[in-house]
Amino acid sequence: MSKAKRQEAFWGYLMVAPTIIGLIVLNFYPFFDTLKLSFAKTLPFGLYKMQGIDNYVKMFSSAEFWKATWNTIYFCILTVPIGVFISLIVAIMLNSKIKGRTAFRAIFFLPMVVAPAAVAMVWKWMFNTEYGIINSVLHAHINWVSNPHIIMITCAIVAIWSAVGYDAVLLLSGLQNISKSYYEAASLDGASKIQQFFHITLPMVSPTLFVVIITRLMASLKVYDIIYMIVEQSNPVLTDAQSLMYLFYRESFVSGNQGLGSAIVIWTVFLIGIVTAVQFVGQKKWVNYEI
């Protein structure tokens, strides 16, 4: 390598150093540490001793763990398709020429600005069986927060509500990249609005849609804060609602068993990895990158 080239390489490394160092210190190191801890028996005050695969054996033989895994998947099934669909509808509406469009965009984005804990807190009161506004409007007596069959739907509603604004803004940017001329040409050919949606909008926005689905799915697999705030640990439906991350929290920080907690995290990483890999393979069938 010539001197000039070497110097250039040096400056290149220097420039990316902050990001790389940050990534190593904040992401890689903790990941490998977690991996290590998942094979260890943890004691208080950061002490631990290695013990092999005991944590995994214990984890895979625990009914609570499989229930939490199912709860997490169920939560994804409830939130991702509906949430993304609503976001797309909202994005299309915000993209059309309606009065006060900017105001609506801001309003839909607002839930994203509020802390998730505060969001869940307010919703929890709205869902209260005795005094909640939702039951009083519906003239019903639904145990939103304490019925084991309804609790996940309750959490899903809150999750969708808080995510729609953000996803809609992402999709909106995708929609705005679509040239008007496609629609003009299509209407000259006599295509209806519905046909335009399926043959122009959907293919053209598919790259953005793909990103939205992937990030939403990952976020849903890692759901914690909303469920934690709505379902207290003294709630009888706890096992029917706890997600993997909630179980991780309870094992690591309530029971002080970080080893088992780490094993749960590794399992979640594995799960997210599989889901994401499947999506990347599947995207070839429906995502259109040729604009």
Partner 1 sequence: MKRLKRMVAVFMMVVLVLALAACGKSSKTKDGKTLLTFQIWDVAQKDGMQAICDAYSKKNPDVKIEVQVTSWDEYWTKLEAAAVSNQMPDIFWMHTNEILKYADYGKLADLTDLYEDENYYKEHFSDVSIANSQGSDGHIYAVPKDKDTVCLVYNKEMFDEAKVSYPDENWTWDDLTEASQKIYDATGKYGYMAYGDDQLGYWNFVYQNGGYILTKDKEKGGFDQKATRDAMKYYINLQKEDWCPDQNYFAETSPGTAFFSGEGAMFLEGNWNLLSEMKNYPDMVGKWDVAVLPKCPNPESGDGRATISNGLGYATSATGKNLEIVKDFLRFAGSEEGQRIQGESGAAIPAYEGLEDTWIKVFDDFDYVIDVQKCVDMFDYSVQSVNNKYRSVWKPKVTEELLKIYSGKVSIDKGLDKINEYINTAKNDE
**Block residue for tokens 């099934």:** 77
Shortest separation between residue 213's beta carbon and partner 1, angstroms: 33
With vertex at residue 232, the alpha carbon angle to CA 230 and CA 238, rounded to the nearest 5 degrees, is: 95
| 232 near partner 1, judged by CB under 8 A | yes
Closer of 10 and 32 to partner 1 (Cβ) = 10
Inter-residue contact 211 to 174 (CB < 8 Å): no
H helix runs in the chain, sequence order: 3-23, 29-37, 54-60, 63-95, 101-113, 116-126, 133-138, 151-176, 180-188, 193-196, 202-221, 225-230, 238-241, 244-249, 258-286
| 34 near partner 1, judged by CB under 8 A | no
- Cβ neighbours of residue 289 under 8 Å, at least 6 residues apart? 207
| 241 near partner 1, judged by CB under 8 A | no
For residues 59, 65, 66, 69, the Cα torsion angle rounded to the nearest 10 degrees is -120
| 136 near partner 1, judged by CB under 8 A | no
Return d(Cα 170, Cα 176) in angstroms, integer.
10
Report the residue from 1, 5, 46, 189 that binds partner 1 according to the rule CB under 8 A. Answer: 46
**Burial of 56 by CB count in 10 Å (0-12 exposed, 13-18 middle, 19+ buried)?**
middle
| 51 near partner 1, judged by CB under 8 A | no
| 196 near partner 1, judged by CB under 8 A | no
Report the residue from 255, 277, 288, 291 that binds partner 1 according to the rule CB under 8 A. Answer: 255
Return d(Cα 50, Cα 125) in angstroms, integer.
45
Shortest separation between residue 244's beta carbon and partner 1, angstroms: 17
Report the residue from 62, 206, 215, 239 that binds partner 1 according to the rule CB under 8 A. Answer: 239
Closer of 62 and 283 to partner 1 (Cβ) = 62
Closer of 184 and 232 to partner 1 (Cβ) = 232
Report the residue from 147, 196, 276, 279 that binds partner 1 according to the rule CB under 8 A. Answer: 147
Residues pairing with 48 in the sheet? 42
Inter-residue contact 225 to 120 (CB < 8 Å): yes
Specify the 3-state DSSP secondary structure of 42: strand
Return d(Cα 244, Cα 267) in angstroms, integer.
9
Closer of 11 and 280 to partner 1 (Cβ) = 11
Sketch the per residue contact string, 86 through 125, with partner 1: x for CB under 8 A, - otherwise.
Answer: --------------------------------------x-
> Which DSSP symbol is given to 255?
S
Return d(Cα 183, Cα 165) in angstroms, integer.
26
Query: What is the Cα 262 distance to its own chain's centre?
Result: 20
Q: How many residues bind partner 1 (CB under 8 A)?
A: 32
Sketch the per residue contact string, 154 through 183, with partner 1: x for CB under 8 A, - otherwise.
Answer: ------------------------------
Q: Which stretch binds partner 1 (CB under 8 A): 22-30, 113-121, 183-191, 246-254?
A: 246-254
Report the residue from 27, 51, 177, 233 that binds partner 1 according to the rule CB under 8 A. Answer: 233
Shortest separation between residue 130's beta carbon and partner 1, angstroms: 7
Shortest separation between residue 124's beta carbon and partner 1, angstroms: 8
What residues line the site for partner 1 (CB under 8 A)?
Answer: 7, 10, 43-46, 124, 127-131, 143, 145-148, 231-239, 250, 253-257
